[in-house]
Structure 1
Amino acid sequence: MIAQARPIRVGIIDGQSPIAKGLSLLINGTAGLQVAHVYASAKEAQVALNKDLPDVLLFLLGQPDVEELSSISAIRKMLPLIKIIVVSEREDEDLVFHMLRAGAGGFLTRDVSPLKLLEAIREIQDGGAPMTMNVARLVVASFFKNNDSLLTPREREVLSWMARGKSYTQIAEILFVDKETVRSHIKNIYGKLEVHSKADAIEKATLEKLI
């Protein structure tokens, strides 16, 4: 008799999503998949993931706050082998790349079909990187940005968050670093771009396609 393969265990971070309940029923009703746990928030997930040990984590992203944006990095540090798919209402470039850099392996939008979502769970478990079409286009377009910049990837990330109006404190929390590290990055940015203000740095970086 052939032993039945263990189902893929899926954790769901609710994020106050209206689709969480239906998604849980869908996964449990699909052969080869099983819901490990549904977490009410990213904070709750970080406390319980070591006990539940899901293979794949679906992060149903609401209106992203600092805690949510920081949580993927924290979860990956706890469980380096966990595979994370973000399911978001938004797909703007900054959000997409922040989540991918933090350790998400896939990025889908809320209008994804149930079939595509189930396929994405299996795909990421098999080593793939599931993305909706628009997100994939953003990733491809990023290759056409100016990559000859003197700025490091982290400095470009800091500058990108500055352009979105985030304060030093907020950037520090988002990137999981201390405030002085952010100050140091910004000092380096100003020096490399030969500017003396945030507005000038953002303008020059935009013109030169650095962010």
Structure 2
Amino acid sequence: MNKLLIVDDHRIFTDGIRFLIEHSTDLKVVGVLHSGSEVIPFLSGNPVDIMLLDIDLPDMQGFEVASMVKKYHPHVRILILSMLDDAESMGRMFEVGVKGYCIKSDGRDEIFKGIEKIRKGDSHWPKSYLELLSKQAGKTSDSRLTQREKEIIALICKGSTSGAIAEKLFVSVRTVETHRKNIYRKLNVHTSVELAHHAKKHRIT
């Protein structure tokens, strides 16, 4: 678990992070790409364990790249490196299977911590974001959830899509989406990542 790929269009940043990684860790940087369209062809011919991925790429968004990587190369562990520190960006990345998220302005030590955590199979998310989710969870109650809603929460937390949930529960996708909206409203959450943290903290599933 030591082969690392960097995907970021800021060449000064990639030169710097590559130098730091190669001179401060035992990780091997096997490639540096500057566009999203290069990623899948590169992975098809080169073994990669960890990918550092920026959200804003010149040809496509990072969540699109992450989605393709998780589909065709699910073993690759992805750590986002971005200037974006909003909950929506982090939530979208969690939903496509990203293992961690680092804000570039947090500095080298935080990035290295994130790399090491996902390398070990753990996840890594900004402390400010986890605190926000904790505060939101503390203000909500799951006492009004129906049994069917709890079943759907469990499936969402496992990464199932609305289509897969509908098929498993023998209901329509529209019904699942209605349940999802009701769950979000009752628990005061807005994304699957917030729901997952709430469910884990309150042991809903």
TM-score relative to the length of structure 2: 0.66
Q: Aligned pair in 2 of structure 1 residues 133, 46: CA closer, same or farther (>3 Å)?
A: same
1:102 aligns with 2:81: no
Instruction: Specify which of 181, 188, 203 is matched with residue 209 of structure 1.
Output: 188
The structural deviation recorded for 1:125 is 0.8
Superposed counterparts of 1:1-211, under 5 Å: 8-16=2-10, 18-62=12-56, 67-141=61-135, 143-144=137-138, 148=145, 209-211=188-190
Q: Is the 8 A contact 1:88 1:110 kept in 2?
A: yes
The structural deviation recorded for 1:67 is 3.9
Letter in 1 for 2:128: N
Larger helix fraction of residues: 2
The structural deviation recorded for 1:108 is 0.8
Q: Deviations over 1:106-158 (max 9, x none)?
A: 111011221222232122111221222213224434544566486967xx9xx
Distance in 1, matches of 2:175 and 2:9, equals: 36
Distance in 2, matches of 1:130 and 1:34, equals: 21
Distance in 2, matches of 1:129 and 1:64, equals: 27
- Aligned residue in 2 for 1:164: none
Q: Aligned pair in 2 of structure 1 residues 209, 59: CA closer, same or farther (>3 Å)?
A: same
Distance in 2, matches of 1:189 and 1:65, equals: 31
Q: Secondary structure at the match of 1:36?
A: strand
Q: Is the 8 A contact 2:54 2:62 kept in 1?
A: no
Q: Is the 8 A contact 1:146 1:208 kept in 2?
A: yes
Distance in 1, matches of 2:58 and 2:128, equals: 19
Distance in 1, matches of 2:6 and 2:100, equals: 14
Q: Is the 8 A contact 1:107 1:135 kept in 2?
A: no
**Matched-pair identity in %:** 17
Distance in 1, matches of 2:59 and 2:134, equals: 27
The structural deviation recorded for 1:50 is 2.4
Q: How many residues align?
A: 173
Letter in 2 for 1:40: H
Q: Is the 8 A contact 2:55 2:63 kept in 1?
A: no
| Structure 2 gap ranges (5+) | 164-171, 191-205
- Aligned residue in 1 for 2:201: none
Q: Secondary structure at the match of 1:108?
A: strand
Q: Secondary structure at the match of 1:111?
A: helix
Q: Aligned pair in 2 of structure 1 residues 209, 17: CA closer, same or farther (>3 Å)?
A: farther
- Aligned residue in 1 for 2:193: none
Alignment RMSD (CA, Å) = 3.8
Distance in 2, matches of 1:59 and 1:73, equals: 12
Q: Aligned pair in 2 of structure 1 residues 136, 188: CA closer, same or farther (>3 Å)?
A: closer
Q: Is the 8 A contact 1:10 1:36 kept in 2?
A: yes
The structural deviation recorded for 1:95 is 1.1
The structural deviation recorded for 1:70 is 1.9
